[in-house]
Amino acid sequence: MNKTLIIGATSDLAVSYINSIKDTSHCVLLVRNELKVKSKFPKKSFHKIIITDLASTKNLDSVANLYDYNYRKIIFFNGVDIIKPIQFYTFSEIQNSFNINVISIFTIISKLIKSKSIANNSSLLVISSISGNIIGSKGHSLYATTKASITGLVKSLAIELSKKRIRVNSILPGLIKTENLYLKNKNLQSPEDFEKYEKNYPLGLGNTKNINDLIDFLLEDKSSWITGQNIVIDGGHTILR
């Protein structure tokens, strides 16, 4: 049976999506902390849990078992967002953000292709952001830069892998009510300013089910004629900008 590879499997969006899967026995998870997997998924069983730190991209050359399977679905949930003015970023924060948000994705896909670990007629999906692609936001310059680079990767890689019928797409969400990113954005603004911000979402702020449904669609054969697309899902937020 072809496997599903989920990178960054303990992020808020990943946890929601994995919990929506009835049978996870075919899933291979790539995470930094195995204890976190056990706490997030106490009743789930997985084919394999692989531990590595994506901030240290040298590890990706020799991650045990990662390249041993045949994957038909691959989802990248990994991402880090450090919010502050540009003059306060350290070199380490810049390097780690690029390693986690961009270089790890590029490297893993490269290694999977080289090891022939991606089946024909497969779907690769990256969870990106409207930040840097559609809009800019104060304090998000580093995050936005890394996410903007994903757009170019998706478009070029989709053409490169089309002969094998391997589709490559990304999802660009607006603000989703998650435990981490939602609260981080909320705490950066006064209650009055955040209330005004919420009104800039015509359909209201998103929830994880909105993203889960789109992930399912893009991974399945129903979307077999869609590739190279960076799909915005933001409740109408960016059309008001």
* Alpha-carbon gap, residue 175 to 28, rounded angstroms: 27
Say which residues have a Cβ less than 8 Å from residue 168's Cβ, sequence separation at least 6.
124, 125, 126, 154, 157, 158, 161, 227, 228
Q: Give the number of domains in the chain.
A: 1
pLDDT tens by residue, the chain, 241 residues: 799 999 999 999 999 999 999 999 999 999 999 999 999 999 999 999 999 999 998 888 778 789 999 999 999 999 999 999 999 999 999 999 999 999 999 999 999 999 999 999 999 999 999 999 999 988 999 999 999 999 999 999 999 999 999 999 999 999 998 876 666 666 666 778 778 878 999 999 999 999 999 999 999 999 999 999 999 999 999 998 7
- 171: enclosing H helix or E strand: strand 167-173
- Which pLDDT belongs to residue 82? 93
- Which pLDDT belongs to residue 138? 87
- Which pLDDT belongs to residue 186? 66
DSSP tally for the chain: helices H, then strands E: 8, 7
Residue in 71, 89, 143, 182 annotated catalytic: 143
- Which pLDDT belongs to residue 12? 93
Smallest CA-to-CA distance from 221 within 121, 124, 127 is with 121
Query: What range does the domain containing 99 cover?
Result: 3-240
Say which residues have a Cβ less than 8 Å from residue 94's Cβ, sequence separation at least 6.
142
* Alpha-carbon gap, residue 173 to 195, rounded angstroms: 19
pTM above 0.85, yes or no: yes
- Which pLDDT belongs to residue 213? 97
- Which pLDDT belongs to residue 190? 74
Does the annotation mark 182 as catalytic?
no
The CATH code of the domain that includes 18 is 3.40.50.720
* Alpha-carbon gap, residue 182 to 205, rounded angstroms: 10
